[in-house]
C-alpha cells in the first residue's frame, strides 16, 4: 500500500513538472506553484494540503514567499529545508535582477534609477534605505544599505550619507527606500531628512540627484513630486527634471539635471 501511495505522489509530481515544461508557471494556480516548489524540499510526502494551508495562513503566494523562516515554521508540516527554500526565492530573484544590470550600470534618466533601485527591495518585509554613489558620467560606483527599519532623522543621519559619499568618491548620490506595507509616497520625516541630507551634501559639492520610494510595483520620485525644492533657511536648492528629445527616436525621455540656486553670500 505504501508503495502504491508513493507511486501516486510521484506521478502527480511528474505531471506538475511536465506542465511546467510545456505551459510555464502562468498555467498554474498559486497553490500549485507552491506545491511544485515544496516537492523539491519534501520528497516523500503529499505536499498539496501543505500548499493550501500556507496560502490560507498567509493569504497569497507573494505573502508566503515574503514570510520569514520562523513564521513559516509555525505552520504544521513545514520543516527547515522547506522554509529555507521558500525564503530563498525572493532573494534569488533579487540576485538575478541585480546581476542582470551589470557591475556598473549607468543612471541618466528617472527610469534608469527606477530600474536600478527596484530590485533592491524585491521581497523585503522591512523598511530599508539604500544609497547609490555615482560618478560624473552616472555610473554606479557603489551601493550601500544604510539602514533597516523606519526612515527618520535619527535612523538616517546626514553624516552617514556624507561619509559614505566621500568614502566612495561620489560625484552624485541617489537615495532609495521602501514602504513594504504602505504606499509609494513620502512621509513628512522622509521629506525633512532628505532636505537635511541635500544641504549636507551640497556643502561638500556632491549632488543628491533623487530620493525614490518603492511600494510594491509603484515608485515615487521626490524630484518629480517637488519634495526637494528647499533645503532649509541656510541654503536654497532646486531640482528639475528636464524633458529632452532623444535624437532620431521620436521618443521623449526624462533626464536628471542639477540646478543649484546659491543663496546670498555663497556664490
**Does 103-261 match 2-96 at the fold level?**
no
* Residue written as grid cell 511528474: 14
30/60 Cα distance (integer angstroms): 7
In whole angstroms, how large is the CA radius of gyration of the chain?
A: 23
The domain made up of 103-261 has a fold known as Cytidine Deaminase; domain 2 (3.40.140)
The domain segmentation of the chain, as residue ranges, is 2-96, 103-261
The domain made up of 2-96 has a fold known as DNA polymerase; domain 1 (1.10.150)
pLDDT at 231: 44
pTM of the model: 0.69
pLDDT at 152: 52
**DSSP letter string, 183-218:** -SS--HHHHHHHHHHHHHHHTTT-EEEEEEEEETTE
Q: Phi first, then psi: what are they for 51, rounded to 5°?
A: -60, -45
Nearest to 12 by CA among 63, 59, 49, 58: 49
pLDDT at 10: 64
Contacts (Cβ under 8 Å, ≥6 apart) of 74: none
Give the residues of the chain that fall short of pLDDT 70.
Answer: 1-10, 150-154, 229-267
184/179 Cα distance (integer angstroms): 7
pLDDT at 232: 40
257/1 Cα distance (integer angstroms): 72
pLDDT at 42: 92
pLDDT at 88: 92
DSSP three-state, residue 252: strand
Amino acid at each position: 500500500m505504501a508503495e502504491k501511495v508513493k507511486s501516486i505522489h510521484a506521478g502527480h509530481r511528474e505531471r506538475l513538472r511536465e506542465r511546467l515544461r510545456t505551459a510555464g508557471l502562468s498555467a498554474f494556480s498559486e497553490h500549485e506553484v507552491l506545491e511544485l516548489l515544496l516537492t523539491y524540499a519534501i520528497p516523500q510526502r503529499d505536499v498539496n494540503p501543505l500548499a493550501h494551508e500556507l496560502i490560507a495562513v498567509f493569504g497569497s503566494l507573494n505573502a508566503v514567499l515574503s514570510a520569514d523562516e520562523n513564521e513559516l515554521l509555525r505552520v504544521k508540516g513545514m520543516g527547515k529545508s522547506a522554509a529555507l527554500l521558500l525564503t530563498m526565492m525572493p532573494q534569488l530573484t533579487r540576485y538575478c535582477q541585480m546581476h542582470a544590470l551589470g557591475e556598473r550600470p549607468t543612471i541618466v534618466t528617472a527610469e534608469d534609477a527606477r530600474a536600478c533601485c527596484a530590485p533592491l527591495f524585491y521581497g523585503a518585509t522591512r523598511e530599508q534605505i539604500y544609497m547609490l554613489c555615482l560618478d560624473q558620467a552616472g555610473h554606479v560606483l557603489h551601493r550601500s544599505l544604510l539602514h533597516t527599519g523606519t526612515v527618520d532623522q535619527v535612523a538616517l543621519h546626514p553624516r552617514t550619507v556624507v561619509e559614505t559619499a566621500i568614502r566612495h568618491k561620489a560625484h552624485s548620490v541617489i537615495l532609495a527606500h521602501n514602504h513594504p506595507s504602505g504606499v509609494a509616497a513620502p512621509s513628512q520625516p522622509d521629506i525633512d531628512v532628505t532636505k537635511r541630507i541635500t544641504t549636507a551634501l551640497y556643502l561638500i559639492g556632491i549632488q543628491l540627484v533623487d530620493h525614490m520610494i518603492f511600494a510594491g510595483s509603484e515608485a515615487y520620485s521626490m524630484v518629480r513630486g517637488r519634495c526637494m525644492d528647499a533645503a532649509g533657511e541656510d541654503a536654497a536648492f532646486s531640482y528639475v527634471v528636464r524633458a529632452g528629445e532623444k535624437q532620431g527616436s521620436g521618443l521623449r525621455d526624462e533626464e536628471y539635471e542639477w540646478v543649484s540656486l546659491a543663496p546670498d553670500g555663497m556664490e
